[in-house]
Structures are given as C-alpha cells and as structure tokens.
Chains A and B, each alone.
Chain A
Amino acid sequence: DTAVSQTPKYLVTQMGNDKSIKCEQNLGHDTMYWYKQDSKKFLKIMFSYNNKELIINETVPNRFSPKSPDKAHLNLHINSLELGDSAVYFCASSQERGLDTEAFFGQGTRLTVV
C-alpha cells in the first residue's frame, strides 16, 4: 500500500488547458502539502493544508487552486497552463504541524506543458 499516492504520474498537455493532479494519503495525517520541483531540482512549498484548512499559500499564481475534500485528499487544479508550469509536483503529508515532523512524499507528477 502506497502511503502517499499521486495521479497521474506523467501529464503532458498544451498551453491554456486546465488540469488536475490528485493526491491521497492513507497515513491518517492531518497536514498535507504541495511542492513544486523545477528542472534544477529546487523544491519549493506551494500550499499547506491542515485538517482541510488552508494554512500556507506561498507566492503561487491564482491559476493554482488546491482543494481538500477531506483530510486524506489534497488535489491541485491548474487553470490556463503555461510553459513555465512544467515541473515535477510533489504531494506530501505529515502527522501534525511541527518543527520536527517528518514529511512523507508521493512519487511526484511530472507535468510537461507544450
């Protein structure tokens, strides 16, 4: 059983399209995240949810909208995709909000915008 699972693993789409990436965790964690990893492997936090409530929203364009229907799911919807959105997107979860809390990552979704 995969602890944090994302779908799809690969996503190729044209500019201007709208797409969603789904994330589910079966660890019973309260907190979930979305990270973006660029072509140089730099990992940057995008959003953080705690018990379905948005906690952190870093400087991310409004075209990105996270949705958490329940605390086990955190989906990422992207409108009007741009070339610069091409990256690997990672979902992660942690048991609680805490400075020493380990994050568990999904395998990533490689998004390519053409």
Chain B
Amino acid sequence: AQSVTQLGSHVSVSEGALVLLRCNYSSSVPPYLFWYVQYPNQGLQLLLKYTTGATLVKGINGFEAEFKKSETSFHLTKPSAHMSDAAEYFCAVSSPGGSYIPTFGRGTSLIVHP
C-alpha cells in the first residue's frame, strides 16, 4: 500500500524567505512522486515529478524537490517566496503493484506575508 504524509497543514513564510514543504511517503517499492499546486478556486496543476534518475527535480515557478530514499522524503523547496506562491500544495505518490492512480496527501496551505 502507498501513502503520503504532509507535515503541517499550514506553512507561513515572509516574502523572500525560503519555502520548505514537507512530504514523506510510504511505499514498498520505488515510488513515483509528484507535487501539485492548487491556486484559489482552481484545479490542481503539476509542479514537478520524480520518476527515475536524478534525485533533484526542478519544476515550474522556481520550485524544486529532492527524492531521498533513505528518509522516504520528497520535500518541496523554493529559495525565495513570492506573494503569488500562496496556494495549496499537494504531494502525491504512485507505485507499482497498486492502482496506477496517485494517492494524494492532505495538502499544505502556503501563506506568504509581505
């Protein structure tokens, strides 16, 4: 079975500060990992994904995430937060042996202060 845990339902940062959103996964086999972003009143859109290969993945809008197998983590970071980054962020995992449909975490709301 696969599952995702996002630590912290809300993360608050100042504009220009580092953004760190945490995601830990559980999977008995090598997983595929995703970060999606949901802006207010909109659907989800893909930020980035890890499948195989390089463990540091770069996505849109300056976000990146690093797959760390030893820590079963896939944390999302951005060096400098912008007001427009305020949104809900979802980590998701899919893995062989289960449904091909990814399992989503419960989301982390990113709040950016001026």
Contact = CB atoms under 8 A, between A and B. Distances in A.
A contact patch SS:
loop
A102 B44 CA distance: 11
B43 A56 contact: no
Contact of A48 (B42, B90, B101): B101
B90 to A, nearest CB: 7
Contact of A43 (B32, B45, B95, B104): B104
Interface string B82-114: 000000101000111001111010110100000
A99 B95 contact: yes
Interface residues of B, number: 24
A26 to B, nearest CB: 15
Given A42-B106, A99-B51, 16 more contacts: A33-B101, A42-B107, A43-B90, A43-B107, A45-B99, A56-B99, A56-B101, A92-B44, A98-B100, A99-B32, A101-B100, A102-B49, A103-B44, A103-B102, A105-B44, A107-B41
